[in-house]
Each structure stands twice: as structure tokens, then as C-alpha cells.
Chains A and B, each alone.
Chain A
Amino acid sequence: MTALTIERDIQARRLPARAPWLVGAGALAVSLAVGSLGSGPSVPAVVALAVVLYAVTLYVLSRAVEGPRRATDRLAGIAVTSAFGLAMIPLVSLVWIVVSRGLRLFSISFLSTDMVGIFGEMTEGGAVHAIVGTLLVTGAAALISIPVGLFTAIYLVEYGRGPLARAITFLVDVMTGIPSIVAGLFAFALFTLIFGPAYRAGIMGAVALAVLMTPVVIRSVEEMLRLVPNELREAAYALGVPKWLTIVKVVLRTAAAGIVTGIMLAVARVIGETAPLLITVGQLNQMNWDLFDGRMMTLPVFAYRQYAQGGVGIDRAWAAALTLILIVMALNLLARLISRYFAPKAR
């Protein structure tokens, strides 16, 4: 614990508060100058150089004036902050590139036509069949996993005790880690064993997505049910309300906003799944409304397919990615709004 020896001199020398700012400005100026000397300065290179210069200069200054402990403290602060900055690079670049490239082909007609009769370098055509397919498959997955997830969460919170409940809790956690492609293989194996090796249908993808979605639903619903104070359950019991009606009308009702939010976030998570759909639902360039018969296009697979074909397809892939992100963000936003405005007011 030598590092913790108490600093005796309360008026220890400190760098002035504006020092970091001055050093920062200096580092930026120097790296801009260096960048313009070299051939074609790239923004990432200049920023990286500036951060390194800033860290080194401030560390040396601080070590000279304030001593090694404060210098290390400053260095750690810089490292932690740049870690956060580093994580923002993919987010910002991704959003920027999806929006800028996606807007090239994103239009009303992209959202309302399918790919029948589109070939070569034609820029017509669109993803309506893929959007419908995604909504159908994800909707069916939600229809399967919401009741199962809801009731399992109710079991875990309201009924479950002992080893069975512990086993289920543990396996639900493990199930959250099933790779999506394995879920796809499971659905494929299940349906082809029953209906023959050539069977392909939207429902296969829905089952695969349901395997991925159910544990997420269970976790979030469970969390919400545990937030409902026990006093409310007791109040209902004391009024002579049976346990199941207490659960339906008091517990679920009180947690409703949180449950809806959790379910929407779970939907948002699986709606962008690609791999399991690629190997079960397959692809198609026209509309298919029947979940139980034949291949079906979905938005993520559409994006992948168009990318793989190259050419104009790449622009279509970006437009599809933009559509997908808009759907996911809309679901996320809606979920947050619901949880904010419909939660029971605090007591």
C-alpha cells in the first residue's frame, strides 16, 4: 500500500486547471501540421496522433510538477476516456455510411416493389417482399416465444422453487448463448426430419428465431415481475383473490409497461438475424404470403444477397440495411417511450 501514503503537503503543487486544454490544443495543432506534411492526411491518423501526443505531454508535465502518482492518475483518465471515444468510431462511422450510402436507392418505390424482372444494372426493384417476409417471420416467432416466455417467467417468479426452478434459470442463461446459426440448424433438422429434406418455409425461420428470442423474453419479463412489490400481491390475497387472478390482474398489470418494453427489445434483437434465415427460409425474389409453404425473402437475407451479387446490388444492400436499422430503431424508440409514459407512477 505504498501508493496510498498520505500526501502530507495539502498545498501540493498542481498543474493549473487550464493546462490540459492548452496541451490538448497544442497536440492537435502539431498533429495537424505533421499530417499536412505527409501525403494526404487522414482524419483517423491525425486524431490518433493528437491523442498520443496529448497523453505523453500531459504525463511528462504532470510527473514533473505533481509527481508520479498524479501523473499516472491523469494517464488513466485519458486511457479510459479514449476507450469510450474508440467505441464511438464504429458507431458513428456505421451510422454515417449506412445513411449516406443507403439513401442512394432508398425511396418509396424501393419500399413498394419486389425484384421480379430486375436484372443486370437496372436500379429499379425493391425490398417490399423482403420487408413483408421479415415481418411475417418475426411476427410468427413472437407469437411462439411471447406466451412461452411470459409463462416461463411467471413460473420462475411466482411458482418455481427448488432444483427445477434453479435448473431452468440456469439453462435459460445458457440458452441466451446459443449461436444463431445453431438455432437455424435446429429448425432445419426439426422440419426436414418431419416433412422431408426439401421442405422450406417461413415457419422454419420463425422457429429458429423463437429459440433465440424466448430466453431474452424470459429474462426481461422475469426482471419486471420481480420489481412488483410483494405488498401488492399480499393486498390482493387478503381480499380473497386467488393466486392466478392476482398474477393476471395485479402483478402483470403493474408490470405491463416494462413487459411490453422488454418484448419489443427482444423483437428488435431478432428482427435483424440473418444466418438462421439464410439456411432455413432461403431467398426468393417475389412476394410469398404463406408462412407454411415455400421460401420467403427476408430483409437481412436480402441485404446479404444483394451484397453478394455486387454491382447495383451493393447500393440495394445499403438501402436494405438502412430500412432494417430504421425498423430496429423505431422498435427501440417505441419501447423506451412505452416504458417512460405508461409505467405506473411511483408511489
Chain B
Amino acid sequence: MPQGIQVKDLNIFYGDFRAVADVDMEIESNSVTALIGPSGCGKSTFLRTLNRMHEVVPGARVEGNVQIGGVDLYGKGVDPVAVRREVGMVFQRPNPFPTMSIADNVLAGVKLNNRRISRSDAADLVERSLRGANLWKEVKDRLDRPGSSLSGGQQQRLCIARAIAVEPSVLLMDEPCSALDPISTLAIEELISQLKERYTIVIVTHNMQQAARVSDRTGFFNIENTGDPGRLVEIDDTATMFSNPSQRATEDYISGRFG
């Protein structure tokens, strides 16, 4: 069941350095939210706090409040591992496990956690997830080939299949198309609009056309000077953001008058 996300007064630090400051954001369930902004503005960093992936970097910490489905992600006793099972993530570069077959990659979330699964359930889950990622038709005859034998776009859809096989409620995507060619990108974009029927999706992108094509709402992050923290300038319906943004900085960025 997809969940909405509420972010209040979120500050993100690397050691003493404040990377992102004072973010408030409300994300509805079953929506696609695109985060745009110049390089280094903290949008990816912010994305990674939504499933506590930023903690992987030593010295990283947050202050503030993030709730998904009413549960505080940073509350006492919340296991980051459990959070990540609930909030899936797709990375910039496709990263299938090189030692696993296509089918095993899809099952990675189950198998790596030592969970037992019957053969028929496994086959079922593989098919369901690969269909969900629009990859089933292309790979159904070679499920036991290594995941790295696929093309870049197929690998990225395999990673999406792998993420949805864990059955999360939220799916985070960190520039999922930046390493792909235009045709593969189109396939992923089509997939995103299908996936929102079942998941709440947050996607970071450098490509404003892509944000306009796939998202319901768009948030604009900006950084004023090097060394300053990144801030969420505004967030609104995508149509409004692109036609009539309320902030000057947003308008400048969207119309390409930036940098």
C-alpha cells in the first residue's frame, strides 16, 4: 500500500558541514514527485535521507522529521534496514549484482536476507516483478544468464524489478536515466507512469523535460553560494512550476538562464 511522505525542518549534515537546510515537503501517495536543481544543491542527498541510505557515508546525520505513512523514520528503535525494505531505491548507474543471474538479481532482496521461498513462489515473484518493470518479454528465455549480460537500459529496468520485488511502498530514483540512451530513457519514463499506480515515487533528475513529462509535482532545490547549504526553493504542481513559478530563481533555472 503506497504511503505519503511528510518532511519537516529537515537539516542534513556531513560532520560539521550542513549540506541541506530546512526542508519542508509533503508528498502524496501514488504520485510522482520530481526533484530538480543544479549540481551540488543537495537533491540527491535529500533523496537518500528518505530511506536512510545517507547513513552509509561516515559522519552523515540528520536533524528534523521524516514520516512515511505516519511513522517517523528517525524515531527511536526504527531499524534503518527495515526502512530500506519499505522504501526502495534505484541508482544513477545500473548496478545488477555481477555474480547473480537475472532471476537471482530479482530475488536478491529475498535471498540476501536468507529468507526461504518456495520454488514456485520464487518463479512467481520473478515473473511478477519483471512484468512490473516491463522487462519480462525481453528476458523470459534467459533468466539464468548473468544480469550484466543485458544492455544498460535493460539493466536499469532489472534494478527496478529488483527494487519492486521487495514490495516497498515508496520508490526513490536517483537520476535513473542519466547513464542511458534516449530510447532506454523513454522505456523507463513509460514505466514510471505505470508504477505510480502502485507506488509513491520520488525521482531526482537533471533533465527538466523529463521532470515535466513524468511528474505530478516538482520541487526545485538551489544553492546560493558554494559552501552554503542547499535549500528547497519551492515545490508545486509540475504544470504550475513550469508555466508560472512563484520564485525568480526557479524561473531562471527552468528557462535555462542559470550558470
Contact = CB atoms under 8 A, between A and B. Distances in A.
Is there a contact between chains A and B in the complex with CB atoms less than 8 Å apart?
A: yes
Interface of A: 161, 229, 231-242, 245-246, 249-250, 253-254, 256, 344-347
Contact of A236 (B51, B112, B146): B112
Given A235-B162, A241-B112, 16 more contacts: A231-B93, A235-B96, A236-B112, A237-B81, A238-B88, A238-B91, A238-B163, A239-B163, A240-B109, A241-B81, A241-B113, A245-B114, A253-B99, A254-B97, A344-B98, A347-B148
A236 to B, nearest CB: 6
Given A161-B58, A235-B159, A246-B112, A240 B166 contact: yes
B82 interface: yes
Contacts of B95: 229, 231-232, 234-235
Most central of B58, B97, B146, B166 by chain A CB within 10 Å: B97
B112 A231 contact: no
B233 interface: no
B84 interface: yes
Most central of A231, A240, A254 by chain B CB within 10 Å: A240
B183 interface: no
Contact of A240 (B85, B111, B159): B85
23 contacts: A161-B58, A231-B91, A231-B93, A231-B95, A232-B97, A235-B95, A235-B159, A236-B108, A238-B89, A238-B163, A239-B109, A239-B166, A240-B81, A240-B83, A241-B113, A242-B113, A245-B113, A249-B112, A250-B97, A250-B112, A254-B97, A254-B99, A256-B99
Q: Which 5 A-B residue pairings sit nearest by Cβ, starting from the closest? A: A240-B85, A238-B89, A239-B109, A344-B98, A231-B95
A237 B112 contact: no
Contact of A237 (B56, B99, B162): B56
A226 to B, nearest CB: 16
B93 A239 contact: no
B53 interface: yes
Contacts of A344: 98-99, 148
Interface residues of B, number: 31
A194 to B, nearest CB: 40
Contact of A238 (B84, B96, B97): B84
A9 B45 CA distance: 60
A231 to B, nearest CB: 4
Given A231-B91, A250-B112, A237 B97 contact: no
A346 B96 CA distance: 12
Contacts of A231: 91, 93, 95
Nearest to B59: A161
Given A234-B91, A345-B148, A239 B98 contact: no
Contact of B84 (A229, A240, A254, A345): A240
B46 to A, nearest CB: 16
B116 to A, nearest CB: 15
A92 to B, nearest CB: 41
Given A240-B109, A240-B113, A234 B56 contact: yes
A75 to B, nearest CB: 49
B14 to A, nearest CB: 14
B61 to A, nearest CB: 15
B85 A239 contact: yes
Given A245-B113, A245-B114, A345-B148, A239 B99 contact: no
B162 A239 contact: yes
A229 B114 CA distance: 23
A245 B113 CA distance: 7
B149 to A, nearest CB: 8
B69 to A, nearest CB: 16
Most central of A231, A245, A256, A347 by chain B CB within 10 Å: A347
A237 B162 CA distance: 12
A83 to B, nearest CB: 41
A240 B114 CA distance: 12
Contacts of B89: 238
A237 B108 CA distance: 11
B3 to A, nearest CB: 15
A253 B97 CA distance: 10
Contacts of A161: 58
A173 B55 CA distance: 31
A234 B163 CA distance: 12
Nearest to B95: A231
A345 B88 contact: no
A254 B95 CA distance: 13
Contacts of A254: 97-99
A289 B91 CA distance: 55
A233 to B, nearest CB: 7
Contacts of A256: 99
Nearest to A249: B112
Interface in B79-135: 81-86, 88-89, 91, 93, 95-99, 108-109, 111-114
Most central of B56, B86, B99, B166 by chain A CB within 10 Å: B99
Contacts of A240: 81-86, 109, 113, 166
